[in-house]
Every structure is written in C-alpha cells, then in structure tokens.
Structure 1
C-alpha cells in the first residue's frame, strides 16, 4: 500500500462514521479492487478482487458505519496475509 493509500486508510479507520462514498471507492480501487459493471437500476456498487468475496456497498449517502468497518477488516486481513 503506497503512502497516499495508507493515509486515506488511516483516516477512514480513525473516523468510520464520517466517510464519503467517494473516499471509500477511492480506497478500494487503490487497494486493487475493481468495480463490477453496474446493472441498470442497481442501488449497490459491487467491487471484486481475485480470490476475495465481492464487496457490496449501497450507493446511499452517507455510507453506514458497518459497511466501512467491513472494508477496514477486509483490507487489514489482506495486509496481514501479504505480510505488510
């Protein structure tokens, strides 16, 4: 994880109640997740990564805290697995 991504991750981790959908999407993309092509009328954004379960985030503002905490947990486990 590069320095800018690390700073964004720490910012989100410190205050998960105040995260914009744009910040969360930026973090996921910087961490290697790809957004699945959106089906028409879908209210969720789906992100995929090889050997990972997809992450579904409602495109509702503000993003609820449990979605943020789930992303934090996934990224921390990824970092731990990769030994970083």
Structure 2
C-alpha cells in the first residue's frame, strides 16, 4: 500500500469515528472548556443547553428526619497528613 492510500484510509476511519461519536466528543469539549476564563459566563448562562438535566419535583409531603443533638468534642487532633493542607484564618 502506498503512503497516500494509508493516509486516505486513516482519514476515512478518523472521520467515521468522529461522525459516530460527535455528540460525546462535543460533550467532552464542553466539559473541558467549562471554566475557561474567556467563556465562563456564557458557559454557565447556557449550561442547561449544554448538559442534559431533568426537573426533580418535590413530594407533596415533606419527610422529617429524626434529630439527635450532641455536643461537639472539647478537642480534636488533626492527622499530620491533613495538617499540611489546612490553612487557618486568624
């Protein structure tokens, strides 16, 4: 096979794959570019069109969760691994 034939076959295969998966590829692109600073406002404004969502209707009767108030512990020791990432505001 000549290099031209290999190139054309590769182009046809890539085009076919992109054609079959174009919706998934567009969604991946939208997720990747969601927080780009030059597009962030428009992306959040049109998020309902970019991402599939469904309305969740509330129940006519609200569920009440049981409550069991407890006191906070007097002391707490943070593990050494987590202390490196903890920034205290004074």
TM-score tier after normalising by the smaller chain length: under 0.3
TM-score, normalised to structure 2's length?
Answer: 0.26
Task: From the CA coordinates, give the structure whose radius of gyration is larger.
Answer: 2
TM-score, normalised to structure 1's length?
Answer: 0.28
Per residue, is there more strand in 1 or in 2? Answer: 1
Larger relative contact order, structure 1 or 2 (CA cutoff 8 Å, min sep 6): 1
